[in-house]
Structure 1
């Protein structure tokens, strides 16, 4: 860690909005960390400082201008969170687990890649029907990389006036360029639509062009994760922007079993039937529906204590489910 006096100066420069002092203090911390052989931390600090040096003196940086002009604007377009969900909480295929591990290694060892003239991948497209963990995987990636998670708020971005949507999009991207973060676009097809669609207006087509340009300009420490239920609606150029495309399909019977086992462990309750039996009866559900079924059983069980018969509850709920369930349409 840097000396206590440097940390105090860093805080003071931030509170006072003193950009020059802030830069000097960060440079001193970088030098000290290099002496300690903490090169990864020093490189990351230098990277952030270089980003600051390349910015103008307007409201691009939320930290300055007494605070938070740029940030206040960005808050209209972003929802910031720090997810608690981790990879071990999810039921994933081996290939997706390996991808996340490789992706995290690229991000955490970016300086080695750069020494060979390479950049880490920072754009991921998640594809699949609803309820199969696209948002959860994006949040788990943020947890794995220890990054803040910014979800794009479309209701704040989409405007009715010509050109205003692109202006708001520019403000959003100006802000995230100052952050090491994950930028998440849910239902990406709603904003990245095919420009050749005759039903779309010229404003939407200009928006897609602006969006692609902004994504291209993002530094590698900003990770873009986009999720879509309808990949066929995406503009062809969108596909080229993403270095990784992951398909999150409906769970297999074995994966539904894993969901049930995890739920039993987390809730400290045994359902009385084998997970394989319940999974067979739930065949065709998505991950979200499987978890919802487990919660429904537990909720009913808790409300019937002390006279609860868990096996009967499961039988009844499975019968109700099989009578009423209609497969989720893609």
Structure 2
């Protein structure tokens, strides 16, 4: 068993360094991987997935880097540390140290947890895999744990970012009297699988309800990062970062951020897309279109939202000076 793990690690390291010939020879010598068929189905991002996990994982193309995101400074700093540790893992291992590779992201939906996991994969230059819960979770006793083992066996031999969204679906508190014995066994199996992951595989878990997670699950994560709802200042920085400035929309970013306050980044992004569609289709004035869409936003998020701009006229923002 130790020999198999050692060779599997060598295969993964060789593939990570693009030494595919060496990796194939090691894999064939071990007998762990069958020869690849010419027309093997490919995941979205282009990786060839083995039959045993083809229905359990989805590969998402990683297109956005850390530079494309607007993050709280402390979160960005810790993620950059993680990327540096992974990028210089050889130096750490030469000093009997391993890079951190287990990350928990917590916070309300729509504030960048999935995008941050994607950015980590992009900056590390490794595949980005997401577990398909609909395929992994099964009603039959023991089948869920067996499928999880197949996923983690694949991840152990493949340098990647393995993303588990809505992690509370798997990592629930085992002391919950409302949960069945099966889910408790799944949590125990999951903890063992996480402990056995090599440091070249980065596992990123996300939860909208971290309070539901088992306490032993929390202990496994070396980085625990919170992505909260954006403040007005956060939204202003994000608007400026994505190019939604006065020149593009005819609206001051500080005033627009005040109007969008109360929504998530995902909702603000959808707002901008709606504005751009209407500008293109109606050939209307950008500031007028923004004002019209803010009225819709106001109905959705309450009377305090969308007050900065009305009928194409900008109201002064008394706190704009504090957002810089």
TM-score range, shorter chain: 0.7 to 0.9
Residue equivalent to 1:320:
296
TM-score normalized by the length of structure 2: 0.79
TM-score under structure 1 length normalisation: 0.78
Change (3 A) 1:324 1:82: closer
Q: Which runs of 5 or more structure 1 residues have no equivalent in the other structure?
A: 1-22, 31-39
Q: Which residue of 2 aligns with 1:9?
A: none
The worse-fitting range, judged by mean Cα deviation, of 121-130 and 77-86 is 77-86
Distance 1:258 1:156 in 2: 39
CA contact (8 A) 2:244 2:253 kept: no
Match of 2:258 among 270, 280, 285: 280
Contact 1:82 1:147 survives alignment (8 Å): no
Question: Where does structure 2 lack aligned partners over 5 or more consecutive residues?
Answer: 1-6, 41-47, 304-324
Give the counterpart of 1:114 among 68, 89, 93.
93
1:95-106 correspondence runs (5 A): 95-106=74-85
How many residue pairs align between the two structures? 282
Question: Could you tell me how far apart the structure 1 residues matched to 2:28 and 2:211 are?
Answer: 38
| 1:211 corresponds to 2:182 | no
Which residue, out of 126, 134, 137, partners 2:105? Answer: 126
Structure 2 counterpart of 1:82, from 37, 61, 66:
61
Give the Cα–Cα distance (whole angstroms) in 2 for the partners of residues 76 and 154 of structure 1.
10
Structure 1's 172 and 55: CA in aligned 2 closer, same or farther, altered over 3 A? farther
Superposed CA deviations along residues 63-104 of structure 1, whole A, max 9, x for unmatched, are: x25557981121111001331111122111222221122111
User: Are the counterparts in 2 of residues 263 and 294 from structure 1 also a CA contact under 8 Å?
Assistant: no
**1:2-36 deviations in whole A, cap 9, x for unaligned?**
xxxxxxxxxxxxxxxxxxxxx9xx99xx9xxxxxx
In structure 2, the residue matched to 1:300 is 278
User: Given that residues 264 and 271 in structure 1 are in contact (C-alpha distance below 8 angstroms), is that contact kept between their aligned partners in structure 2?
Assistant: no
Partners of 1:122 and 1:220 within 8 A in 2: yes
Alignment of 1:32-181 (within 5 A): 57=31, 60-61=32-33, 64-66=34-36, 71-181=50-160
Paired residue secondary structure (1:130): coil
Q: Aligned equivalents of 2:120 and 2:242: distance in 1? A: 21
Give the alignment partner of residue 221 of structure 1, picking from 200, 203, 216.
Answer: 200
Contact between 2:251 and 2:287, CA under 8 Å: does it hold in 1?
yes
The verdict on how the C-alpha distance between 1:317 and 1:103 changes in structure 2, with shifts beyond 3 A counting, is same
Instruction: Write out aligned runs for 1:18-29 (5 A).
Output: none
Partner of residue 314, structure 2: none
Larger deviation, residues 76-85 vs 202-211 = 76-85
Provide Cα deviations, 1:260-297, integer angstroms capped at 9, x if missing partner.
2233369x961111000011111111111111111111
**1:230 corresponding residue in structure 2:** 209
Aligned equivalents of 1:165 and 1:54: distance in 2?
Answer: 29
| Aligned-residue RMSD, C-alpha | 3.0
